[in-house]
A and B are shown apart, each in its own frame.
Chain A
């Protein structure tokens, strides 16, 4: 899997001003992602995973440090880095179909091509029966699937996914994970994928990056060298799971103590 550098994050800091206080969301992040690599970001809530993804997407540039894609520094968002937002963010005034088609419409792709692509994605994500529904009439899991389809439609070389399977039941989740892996191998995409789930990270990723809580730094960068499809019941899988649990537990613990201290001071 180790191709050329695709995404390169160097010395990235991100500080938010929040109510007169400085929140150190990201500190000295260095991360290289090779072309075609599948990298998961894992860490406790609030550790800066979305912040990092937003920086790569170009929505909120780092306070210092650089992020380059194919050696070119990022200055603004673009359709080469399709993003699945944690909040889904479907356009409520568009039907499922129109939401999925929107990115292609922007590119001024021919109508027939758009239609074919939309049909294909509707089948892939099991949304055929809901194509003319508006987002308000969909369940959380369906919305999430539409958000994924909307990004798959634009076929970007890099996909940034912020907990895209968070609201799904276990079975749908596994199906979509397999589907994503299939698409990834077939279309050779570079994926940066945020998750809370250790098992999900181990099932999907070539590498799992564990982050620390406040400031957000990289605690461990772990290569997952298990053959795919991965057997979640295998001893090797479980050994890694244990290792990651240990790391996360430490962070969680630190985080709680931190909050406890904060509460005591307040």
Chain B
């Protein structure tokens, strides 16, 4: 009961905002090119989502037809780049972060460079990425991996460095080798941090993908809203933006669901 009340009050503000927006448009107070009505956005969204041609079994399966809409193709293109970039960036950051957190020598060697590179926003790499990789997916994936790399790295380092020394003492008391200490104590103890880093990294990857699509490729959600601007299709721009928002929300929910599932043992999780 309480939960429904909660959900109901959560819908209230968006509904009011939507009504206000619709009112502004219907009354003709704003130019429809600048701000189209929510209804028009919804209609455009549907047109953007649905397959362009009628179903024809000669062209392929029904599922393929369902996914042939422009919006779905764009979303899949963006998702693909996010995932590839995230796994490359995160995949490089994880081992380096573990090494830097575990070994003072590694930390001393790499930390100065990391601290210098970290404040450079991934977007600043755009010119170089095009110079190095040309156009298409490679520069986009490169930018996204940089975006995912640093959050995963910093959190992994912090996670390993913050392992409570009492656990290491227990490990040594029970006779654990250094390898066992690492695999059975340090690594699991650091996972809550690593997951936080992955979640932030995924968020950054998602921001960067939109930007990178605006310059390097000719599909994807970022490309599409920029293209729509050329034609002054503000309804399509807004439809695209909402799609980006929903996709981001979906990915984040999935990530947090995964971490809750894998970190059943973790104390702080029941509340969040």
Residues on A facing B (Cβ under 8 Å): 57, 59, 76-79, 81-83, 85, 87, 89, 91-94, 102-103, 106-107, 134-136, 150, 154
CB–CB A77/B172 < 8 A: yes
A134 and B191 CA atoms in complex are apart in Å by 16
Binary A-proximity of B173-196 (CB < 8 A = 1, otherwise 0): 111110010001100110100000
Stretch at the interface among B1-9, B48-56, B209-217, B264-272: B264-272
A106 and B266 CA atoms in complex are apart in Å by 24
Q: Please give me the residue from chain B that is nearest to A59 by CB atom.
A: B169
**Which A residues are in CB contact (< 8 Å) with B184?**
102
The smallest C-beta distance from A138 to any residue of chain B, in angstroms, reads 12
Q: Does B124 contact A (CB under 8 A)?
A: no
Q: Please give me the residue from chain A that is nearest to B266 by CB atom.
A: A92
A103 and B166 contact, Cβ closer than 8 Å, known pairs A92-B267, A93-B189, A136-B267: no
CB–CB B176/A85 < 8 A: no
The smallest C-beta distance from A182 to any residue of chain B, in angstroms, reads 23
CB–CB B185/A91 < 8 A: yes
CB–CB A85/B170 < 8 A: yes
Q: Does B167 contact A (CB under 8 A)?
A: yes
**Which B residues are in CB contact (< 8 Å) with A134?**
264-265
A189 and B230 CA atoms in complex are apart in Å by 83
CB–CB B175/A107 < 8 A: yes
**Which B residues are in CB contact (< 8 Å) with A83?**
170, 173
**Which A residues are in CB contact (< 8 Å) with B265?**
92-94, 134-136
**Which A residues are in CB contact (< 8 Å) with B170?**
83, 85, 89, 91
CB–CB B174/A79 < 8 A: yes
Q: Please give me the residue from chain A that is nearest to B188 by CB atom.
A: A93
CB–CB B189/A103 < 8 A: no
CB–CB B174/A154 < 8 A: yes
The smallest C-beta distance from B265 to any residue of chain A, in angstroms, reads 4
Interface of B is mostly: helix
A81 and B177 CA atoms in complex are apart in Å by 16
A91 and B167 contact, Cβ closer than 8 Å, known pairs A102-B184, A136-B267: yes
A87 and B177 CA atoms in complex are apart in Å by 23
CB–CB B169/A77 < 8 A: yes
CB–CB A87/B166 < 8 A: yes
The smallest C-beta distance from A43 to any residue of chain B, in angstroms, reads 22
Pick from A59, A87, A103: contact of B174, CB under 8 Å: A103
A70 and B188 CA atoms in complex are apart in Å by 36
CB–CB A89/B167 < 8 A: yes
**Which B residues are in CB contact (< 8 Å) with A106?**
174-177, 180
CB–CB B167/A78 < 8 A: no
The smallest C-beta distance from B183 to any residue of chain A, in angstroms, reads 11
Q: How large is the interface on B (under 10, 10 to 19, 20 to 34, 35 or more residues)?
A: 20 to 34
The smallest C-beta distance from B267 to any residue of chain A, in angstroms, reads 5
CB within 8 Å of A: which of B136-183? 166-167, 169-170, 172-177, 180
A134 and B177 CA atoms in complex are apart in Å by 24
The smallest C-beta distance from A54 to any residue of chain B, in angstroms, reads 9
The smallest C-beta distance from B259 to any residue of chain A, in angstroms, reads 13
**Which A residues are in CB contact (< 8 Å) with B175?**
78-79, 103, 106-107, 154
Q: Please give me the residue from chain A that is nearest to B269 by CB atom.
A: A136
Q: Please give me the residue from chain B that is nearest to A77 by CB atom.
A: B172
A81 and B170 CA atoms in complex are apart in Å by 11
A47 and B203 CA atoms in complex are apart in Å by 51
A81 and B169 CA atoms in complex are apart in Å by 12
A85 and B266 CA atoms in complex are apart in Å by 21
A106 and B185 CA atoms in complex are apart in Å by 12
Binary A-proximity of B18-30 (CB < 8 A = 1, otherwise 0): 0000000000000
Q: Please give me the residue from chain A that is nearest to B164 by CB atom.
A: A89
The smallest C-beta distance from B191 to any residue of chain A, in angstroms, reads 7
CB within 8 Å of A: which of B226-272? 264-267
Q: Please give me the residue from chain A that is nearest to B268 by CB atom.
A: A136
A136 and B169 CA atoms in complex are apart in Å by 20
**Which A residues are in CB contact (< 8 Å) with B176?**
106
Q: Please give me the residue from chain B that is nearest to A95 by CB atom.
A: B265
A154 and B174 CA atoms in complex are apart in Å by 7
The smallest C-beta distance from A6 to any residue of chain B, in angstroms, reads 18
**Which A residues are in CB contact (< 8 Å) with B173?**
57, 59, 77-79, 81-83
9 interchain pairs, CB-CB under 8 A: A77-B172, A78-B175, A79-B175, A89-B166, A91-B188, A92-B266, A93-B265, A102-B174, A102-B184
A102 and B191 CA atoms in complex are apart in Å by 19
**Which B residues are in CB contact (< 8 Å) with A77?**
169, 172-173
**Which A residues are in CB contact (< 8 Å) with B169?**
59, 77, 85, 89
